[in-house]
Amino acid sequence: MLNHLKQHFGSHRTGGHGGLDIARHIGPGLLVTVGFIDPGNWASNMAAGSQFGYALLWIVTLSTIMLIVLQHNAAHLGIATGACLAEATTRFLPRFVGRTVLASAYLATIATAMAEVLGGAIALQMLFGLPVRAGCVIVAAVSMAMLMTSSYKRAERWIIAFVGVVGLSFLAELTLVKVDWPQAAASWITPSMPTGSAAIIVSVLGAVVMPHNLFLHSEVIQSMHFEGQGEQVIEERLRYELFDTLFSMGVGWAINSAMVILAATTFFAHGIVVDDLAVAADTLSPILGPASSTIFAVALLFAGISSSVTAGMAAGTITAGMFDEEYNIHDRHSSIGVAVCFVGAVAACLIVLNPFEGLIWSQALLSLQLPITVFVLIRLTSSPRVMGKYANSRPLNALLVGIGVIVTILDIVLLTGM
């Protein structure tokens, strides 16, 4: 399936740096972007904006910067070695350590899929009145069917289209409110931690910098196997990949920021604390007009389905990597990984008592696994044995370690405050 990418991105061509040539390489990053504009982000961002106004916009900026560095590093691994993060973990770490790391990442991916499926189910309830639990089964079934029956190339196009719908929906919402742009601009770059905000900060971090996306990005890139095409191709792809990552993560930053700003402007300004996505949509109607609820629900449905697909794909990547194999939905290790992920996600949805809180805490749990994945990634990409001449430089290593330390500190703050 992933071999379709070779045709789609023209992996054997070099030279030519015009706009159309660059545009051919946009895709893997947008696929990953879906993961951090998922329903879990919606819940975290709505909670952040409705409870603390613009004050937590800085964590969106910081998380996105971290994400750019980490996603580029994961893609760097795939380009230089021809192995995704899961495969490299299996090959280069002791067996027990590697399996433990991948098992923790797989559990985090199930938590991710739970949030995606639950968000899509909430949207179905808002649009058609379906019970949430029935909606969870429907969203999971549709997402799994997309993975099991569609070529990767077709799935990717659907996913990117969904991203466009979500982005346009929030931009449409944003034009209907009066934003204090100077205050928003200051909050994007000024860290603050209001009382009671630790769990929200960590959930926003976990919702943006998601472990499964690091595995997914490296898999998408490595599937094109640039490592056997010569140094010129590898170096060109590293440049193009950085552009793709910057562009795609920038799109995600804008959409996540729009969510926080929308919540701050419409809810915080009116003293409304959002603790339910359906309530959030209902509350938007009298403030922004009757069309806002429908826009909100449709965008949430698209976000839930598209991010469920990428979560399932990441789960298949991780299980395939446990056996030192590439992701292939027709291979039993990949397909079992996808199926078990969705079954686990639906089971988790069925026992969640409060869907909105489930979304928030699923994202916080992701941040607890994140340091494991980050430090494993650093270990692999800093090793000349793994990366050869493309091993991380000392300044890049220092930056990556700093990111790992920041994530760990925020997790400790969350755990000590629980």
Q: What is the CATH number of the domain that holds 183?
A: 1.20.1740.10
Half-sphere exposure of 58 (CA within 13 A, CB side): 13
Task: Count CA atoms closer than 13 A to 193's CA, side-chain side.
Answer: 8
Contact 163, 174 (CB under 8 A): no
Residue 249 binned pLDDT confidence (cut-offs 50, 70, 90) = confident
218 or 346: which leads in pLDDT:
346
With a pLDDT cut of 90, the percent of the chain lying above it is 39
Model pLDDT, residue 9: 37
- CA torsion 50-54-59-65 (nearest 10°) is 130
Number of domains within the chain: 1
3: phi then psi, degrees, rounded to nearest 5:
-65, -20
Pair 380, 92: CB distance under 8 Å = yes
Res. 19 pLDDT band, cuts 50 70 90: very low
Q: What is the pLDDT of residue 272?
A: 87
CA–CA gap between residue 280 and residue 269 (Å, rounded): 14
**Got the DSSP string for 115-175?**
HHHHHHHHHHHHHH---HHHHHHHHHHHHHHHHHHS-HHHHHHHHHHHHHHHHHHHHHHHT
Q: Average pLDDT, stretch 313-332? A: 92
Residue 189 phi, psi (nearest 5): -120, 5
Q: What's the pLDDT score for residue 250?
A: 85
Tokens standing for residue 351: 């026992």
pLDDT (tens digit, 9 = 90+) per residue, 295-319? 888 888 888 888 898 899 999 999 9
Burial class (CB in 10 A: 0-12, 13-18, 19+), 409: exposed
Q: Helix, strand or coil for residue 39?
A: helix
pLDDT band at 330 (very low <50, low <70, confident <90, very high): confident
Instruction: Evaluate whether 398 touches 189 at the Cβ level (below 8 Å).
Output: no
User: pLDDT tens digits for 101-127?
Assistant: 999 999 999 998 998 899 899 999 989
Measured CA to CA, the distance from residue 68 to residue 215 in angstroms comes to 14
Pairwise CA distance, residues 219 & 237, whole Å: 15
The pTM assigned to this predicted structure is 0.83
User: Given pLDDT bands bounded at 50, 70 and 90, which one contains residue 22?
Assistant: very low
Question: Would you say 325 and 331 are in contact if contact means Cβ atoms under 8 Å apart?
Answer: yes
Output the pLDDT for position 103.
Answer: 96
Confidence of residue 353 (pLDDT cuts 50, 70, 90): confident
C-alpha distances (whole Å) from 252 to each of 157, 170, 198, 255, 312 are 17, 12, 22, 5, 20
Instruction: Reply yes or no on whether the pLDDT at 417 is more than 70.
Output: no
Task: With CA atoms as reference, report the closest residue to 321 among 390, 373, 389, 369.
Answer: 373
pLDDT at 5 over 60: no
Q: Show the domain range for 358.
A: 4-10+18-417
Q: Which amino acid is at 316?
A: G
Mean pLDDT throughout 184-199? 92
